[in-house]
Structure 1
Amino acid sequence: MTSEQSLAGRRIPLVDYLVLEGEPHLVAHECVTCAARYFDRRNACASCEQAEFRVVDVPTEGELRAFTIVSFAAPGVPVPFVAGVVDCGGTTVRGNVVNVAPDPEHIRLGMKLRLTTTSLGTDAAGVEAIGYGFEPAA
């Protein structure tokens, strides 16, 4: 079996802080000194300048704190869509709001959302890229 054949049917997260095993969820790097959280790798905390972090799970449900309805995007990106900022138990997460009409009548600040995953496509080797977004919780 070639390495390309062994990858067929495999799902990989688009970002390294999306965990697909078990119930899909996000993980953050949390400063052990001040509890600031980051999704990207850090050498030091931007809040307290300390350098020790632990990996923590981010709650999968949250509340929409800010959003914009995107009407213009790069070629090939379907519009309109909703880009949002979601408070997940005190952790700020940026992500698209999906599975809801992208208009002000259906999107509102404070709406309850939950994490969901979406397929972003499959390459020629059969490897599927998985992204995340947030959908209405109720």
Structure 2
Amino acid sequence: MSGQIPLVDYLVLNDGQPHLVARECVNCAARFFDRRNACANCFATEFATVPIATEGTVRAFTIVTFAAPGIPTPFVAAVVDCDGTQVRANLINVEPDPQHVFDGMEVRLATQSIGTDSAGTEAVGFGFEPASATKES
């Protein structure tokens, strides 16, 4: 394999433990995962890169049963509170039903292979899995 690349630019794979980073406004501390020219909260233009906690709590979720062609369903889309930063992501490694997913559920960041190109470079995505799930080695 030639290596790994993150599916999104705010997923960091090469600093030991995979984690997310956000752009934090230096004026008001609002955090954003996408590129910003100015803060949507206070309009300041200076940002710092900050790491996001790798563990969190499910604050809202929905079980998606209909999606675009080629997208396997059902899956769980969620909002996870990671120590005050809201992260929108899918829940993975959990059955997509109300018996296994609930508000207040403790979760942790997990990565997964999205695919590998002909040169052997693996694209890596992220989601959150139950904190009680067994870690893979």
Per-residue deviation, residues 29-71 of structure 1 (Å, max 9, x unmatched)? 0001110000011111111111110000000000001101010
Following TM superposition, by how much is the alpha carbon of 1:20 offset from its aligned partner in structure 2, in angstroms?
Answer: 0.3
Correspondence for 2:7: 14
Q: Choose the corresponding residue for 1:114, options 108, 113, 122.
A: 108
Instruction: Please tell me the root mean square deviation across aligned C-alpha atoms, in Å.
Output: 0.7
Instruction: Provide the TM-score with structure 1 as the length reference.
Output: 0.93
Letter in structure 2 aligned against 1:27: V
Structure 1 residue runs of 5 or longer lacking an equivalent are: 1-7
Q: Choose the corresponding residue for 1:130, options 118, 124, 131.
A: 124
1: CA distance, partners of 2:36 / 2:70: 32
Letter in structure 1 aligned against 2:27: T
Following TM superposition, by how much is the alpha carbon of 1:90 offset from its aligned partner in structure 2, in angstroms?
Answer: 0.5
Structure 2 residue runs of 5 or longer lacking an equivalent are: 133-137
1: CA distance, partners of 2:12 / 2:80: 18
Following TM superposition, by how much is the alpha carbon of 1:9 offset from its aligned partner in structure 2, in angstroms?
Answer: 2.3
Alignment of 1:91 with 2:85, yes or no, is yes
Q: Per the alignment, in what secondary structure is the counterpart of residue 117 of structure 1?
A: strand
Per-residue deviation, residues 81-120 of structure 1 (Å, max 9, x unmatched)? 0000000010010000011100011100000000000000
Instruction: Provide the TM-score with structure 2 as the length reference.
Output: 0.93
Following TM superposition, by how much is the alpha carbon of 1:124 offset from its aligned partner in structure 2, in angstroms?
Answer: 1.3
Larger-gyration structure (1/2): 1
- How much identity, in percent, do the aligned residues show? 66
Alignment of 1:66 with 2:54, yes or no, is no
